[in-house]
Structure 1
Amino acid sequence: MDEKLLQRLESAVARLELLSSGSGGGGDAAAAIDPSVIAFDEFMEQYVGRLMSAAKKIGGQVEDVTKLLQQAFSVQKELLIQIKQSQKPDMAGLVEFLKPLNEVIIKANAMTEGRRSDVFNHLKSVADSISALAWIAYTGKDCGMSMPIAHVEESWQMAEFYNNKVLVEYRNKDPTHVEWAKALKELYVPGLRDFVKAQYPLGPVWSATGKTVASATPKAPTTRAPAPPPPPPASLFTSEAPQPSSSRPKVGMSAVFQEISSGKPVTSGLRKVTDDMKTKNRADRAGVVAANEKSSHATSSSFSKTAPPKLELQMGRKWVVEYQIGKKNLVIDDCDAKQTVYIFGCKDSVLQIQGKVNNITIDKCTKMGVVFKDVVAACEIVNCNGVEVQCQGSAPTISVDNTGGCQLYLSKDSLGASITTAKSSEINVLVPGAGAGDDWVLVEYRNKDPTHVEWAKALKELYVPGLRDFVKAQYPLGPVWSATGKTVASATPKAPTTRAPAPPPPPPASLFTSEAPQPSSSRPKVGMSAVFQEISSGKPVTSGLRKVTDDMKTKNRADRAGVVAANEKSSHATSSSFSKTAPPKLELQMGRKWVVEYQIGKKNLVIDDCDAKQTVYIFGCKDSVLQIQGKVNNITIDKCTKMGVVFKDVVAACEIVNCNGVEVQCQGSAPTISVDNTGGCQLYLSKDSLGASITTAKSSEINVLVPGAGAGDDWGEHALPQQFVHAYKDGQFVTTPVSHSGG
C-alpha cells in the first residue's frame, strides 16, 4: 500500500480515537475531524512538507524562516479549530484571538531587518507572503480588507517580486533554491488559494453557540476577595407566572440600545478624560509603541485599506512613513545604519533622510520626492508613479520595478551604483555636471553632441520662464477684449455669383391703422416653436411622412453585402470611446483590415481568405484560439487574456500589447515581434522565424520556444529577461539584462 495513503489512514484513525475518548474534550475532537480541518491537514502535508524538505537541503537562515512559516500554518490550524467552537468576537476580541498568528508574522519580518544577508530575497519572500494567512480575519465586506481568496492572491503578488529574484539568481547556480522558490509559490497559489476557495470562500464560519472570545484585560491583583456564592436556584413550584421576553431586563447590546433610546443621560456615569491623561500630553509617551503598531505594513494593510498618516519608528528597527499627502517637510534625522525605511501610499510629499540607513523601500507612491544621504543595502522603488529620488551620498543598488516615471539624481559618490529596472518606463538618470556650478544633465546625451543639450534648455526656457512670465505679467486673467471695437463675424457660406434680385420690402404698416397690434401669443409661430405647437395640438402630424417599406430596410437590402456602415469604419480606439462592451466580431473591414473582437471561449476561429496587404487586429478576446492561414501585413493583439494565435507569415510585425497569458505561434517567418505591457506570453518560433527581432517593454514572464535540432526533439525554452542592470561607465550607462537559462 502506498506510504502516503497509509499515513492518511493512520491520521484518520487517530482522530476517531480522539473523538471517542472522553466527553471533556468532545468539542475539540469534533472540531479536529471537521472536513475543513482535515482538508487543511492534507494541504499542509502536501505543500508545507515539500517546502520544508527543500529548505532542509539549503539549511541556514532559509531553513529557519521556513520553520517559522510552518509554525504560522500550524497556528492557523489551531485557530480554525477554535473558530469551530467560538462565537464571532468583536474587533478587540478578534485582535486578541489572532495574537498568536501575529507574533509569528512579527518574527518573520524581524529576520529581514538589520544587516542584509546573502539570502535576503528568500527571507523577504516569506515575510511578505506570510500576511496571506490574515485571510482568517475577514469578518464581512465592511471589515476593510479584501475577500479571503483575493487577499491570498494579493499577498502573494507582493512577495512574488522577491521570489522571482531567487529564481533568476539561482537558475544556473543551485537547483535546490529554485525548487524552494517554486514550492513557496505553489504553497500559496494554487495551494492556500484553492483551500480557501473550497472551504472558506466567504471567510471563517464562527459557531453560533460556542464559547465567547475574551478581549485582552488588565491583569488582576494577586490577592482578591473570594467570589460571592451563586444565587439560589429559582423554585420549580413558584406561584409566579413566567416573565414574558418583552418584560425581561435586556442584556448585552440590546440593553445598550434600549438605554440609548430612553433619552437618559447615559454618559453621565462615565469617567472623564482629563488633559494630563491624553496621549499627546503624557510624560511617558516617548519611546512607547502600541502593540497594534508593532506589526509590519504587510500585516496592517491586510486589515485596513486606508489609514491615518504615519511617520514613526517601529520596534526600534523600521521607520514607517505612510499616507502622507501634501507634506513637503517630512524629515527623518535620528536614524542609523541598522534601520530600514518603508514609504507607502504617499502623494505630493517630500521626505528627507538625514543619515545612513540600511534599506529604503518606496511603495505605491505618487509624485513623491525622497532625498537620502547613504544606504547600506539598496533603495527600492516599487509600484510608483512620477517619483523623484536623490542620493547625496552612496548607494550600492537602486531597483525600479513596475514604475511609470522616475527621476534618479545621483551624486558623484553614487555613480557606481547598480541600477536594476523591470516593467518600468520613463526612467531618467541625472548626474552632476563636470564643474561645481554646472547643471544636472541626462546621461543619454552626456559626452555626445552638446547642441542637443543647448536645444533642450532653450525649449524649456521658451515656456518656463519665458511664456509663463509674459502671461503672468500681461494677461494673468486672460485676454482683454475691446468694448467698442468691431464685431468678429462668424463664418458664413459664400453667396452664389448670380441670383435673382431680392423682392421689394413690404409696405410699412400704417401708423393710423384701426387694427390693434397682434399679441405675441396669437402670432403664428415659426421654427421649433411651430413644431412643438403642432405636436401639442393632437393632430396626426406624421400623416404626411413617407413610410419605410420592408424592401427599404437595411437587413432586407439586396446590395448590403460589402457595405460598411459609417460608424463601423472608425478604428477600435474610437468605437471603444462610445461603448465598453460590444458583440463578438470577425469581419473584413474596407477590404484591408480583419477585425476580431470580443470572442470568448471560441477555439476554432479561422481567417483563411487573406493576403499580404491586409492587417489583423485582435481585441478583447478571451479563452479563444485564432488561426490565420495565409500571409498578412501586420498582426496586433490588444487587451486579450488566455488567447492563442497561430499564423504563417507576417510582412511587417506581430505586436502584442496589454495582454495576459497569451500564446503566439509563428509557422513561417516574422521579421519583428514586439511585446509591450504584457504579463505572461509564450512565443513559439519556427526555424524560418529564428532570425526575428523580438522587442519587449514593461513585460514579464516572456518565454520563447524554438524547435529542437532533430525532427522529434522537444521544443527548447528560453526566458527573456524582465530585469535589466544599468552601470555607469565612461560617462554613460551600460545596460545588461539579468541572465536567464536557456532550454
Structure 2
Amino acid sequence: MGDQLKRLEALADRLEAIANKLSSSSSLNRASAADDSTSNIDHLPIIRDYETLINVSIQPFVVLSQKIGGDLTALSNHVLRLFNAQQQFIREAIQSKKPNEKQLMDAIKPQSLEIEAILGFANKNRKSPFFNHLSTVSEGIPALSWILVTPTPGPHIKDMSDAAQFYSNRVLKEFREKDPAHVEWVKLWIKALNELYTYVRQYHTTGLAWASQSSRDFNFVSKPTTKPAAAGGGGPPPPPPPPPPPPMTFDTNVDDSTDDSRNQLMSSINALGEGVTSHLKKVPDQLKTHKNPELRQQPDNQKSSHGKPVVPSKAGKTTSPSTTNTATTGPPKLVLDGNKWLVEYQAGKSDLRITDTNMRHSIYVYKCTNSTIVVEGKVNSITLDQCTKVGLQFTSVVSLVEFINCKSMKAQAIEHVPTVLIEKTDGCHIYLSKASLSTEFITSKSSEMSVNIPSVDDEYKEYPIPEQFKTSIKNGTQLVTIPNESAGV
C-alpha cells in the first residue's frame, strides 16, 4: 500500500511539472504574439512614414532650435511632444473603429493641449527678439489639426503652411545676411509642414484612416492630465467663436441733424439752378498757381492792390479750364479679380457674403454705404476705403484690417486679427474675440474709435482708443508721447 502511494505521488508531481511547463510556454507565446502584433503595426508604411517625418524633419528642427536658444528652446519641445502624440494617436486609430465625438475629443486632448501651448507661448512673448520665429511656428502648427478635417484634410495643411510663410519671410529678411542658421531653421519648418502635407495626401486623403472592418473599440488613454503652463484653455482646436456682439445695424435717423441741415442747404442751392453761379467768372490758366509755379514765388511788391499776382501778358490763345469728373457712384460690384475680392458701390445691402476664400486672398471694399459684409475663412488682408456705415464680420486675417477715409464703421473678429489700421476715419468700433486679445491698433487723423473686448462672462466691455496725445521732451533729446487725459482715457 505504501509503495502504491509513493508511485501515485511521483506521478502527480510529474503531471504538475508538465502542466507548469505548458502554462509557462503558453504565456511566452501570448507575450510573443503581442510583441509581434506591435512590431507589425510599427512596420506598416502608414506608421513608418510618420516616424520618418519625425526623424528627418522634426528632430533636426528641434536640434537647431535648441542651438539657436532663447524662446525657441521651449517652443521646440512643445512641437516635438505634439508630433509624438499624433504618431501614437494614428497608431491606435488604424487599429480601431471610429469612436463617438466625445471619445474622440478625449483622445486628441494631448495634441490639443500642445497646440494651445504653442499658440499661447507665441502670444505671451510678443516682445521676444524671436517673435517672428514664434509666429512662424504658431501660424503653421494648426496644420496638425488635420485629423479633424474631412473630407479633404490636405488643403487645410497647405493653408496653414501658407500662413506660416508670412512670418517666415520676415525671419529670412532679417537674418539672411546675418546668420545662416536662422535661414536653415525656416527651411526645416516649411519642409516639415510640406512633408506632413505629402503624408496626409498619401494615407489620409479623405480624412483620418480608421480600421474599416475592425470591431475593436478605440481605447487610447490620454496620459497628460495637466495643462501646460503656456496654454490658454482646454478643448481641441480651433476654439469655438464667442457669442456675437450686438447686430451691426445702423440707424440712419440717429445724429442726422447736421446732415439734414446740410441737405436742406444743398437742396436750396440746387433749386436755384445754374443762375446761382452765373455771375461768377472763370479763372484763366494764367492765374492758376498750380499751372504757373512762378506765381507762387513772386514777392509782395509784384502783387496788385488786391493781393493778386501780376501776370505778364502772353501771346497766344487762352485755353478754357478743364474739368475733372470725379464719380462718387458706380455699378455695384462683388467679384474675385485674381487674388483680390472687389466690393464696390454697394448700398443698403445686409446680405453681402464672401465665402470662397483662402490665405492668398485680399478683400478691398470701396465706397459702400449702409451695408453689412461677412467674410468667411482666413484671408490675407481686408481694406475698407471711403465707406460709410458699413458693418464687417470676418473669421480670421493673416496681416491686417484697415479703414481709410471711412465714417461710422463697425467690425467684428470671430477668430484672429494681428493688426487694425485706422486712418482718416470718424467713428470706428471694433469687436474682438478672446483669440484676438493681442491685436495691435495703429491710428492716425481719426476720431470716435473704440475696441470692445469680451469679458469672463462673454459680455463685451468697450474701451476708447485715444485721440489726443501729449508729447514732452526727455533728457533734452528724446520725445515721449502719452495719451492725453482730457481725451477720456
Shorter-chain TM-score bucket reads 0.3 to 0.5
TM-score (norm 1): 0.30
- Which of the pair has more CA radius of gyration? 1
The structure with higher relative contact order (CA 8 Å, sep 6+) is: 2
Between structures 1 and 2, the one with greater helix share = 2
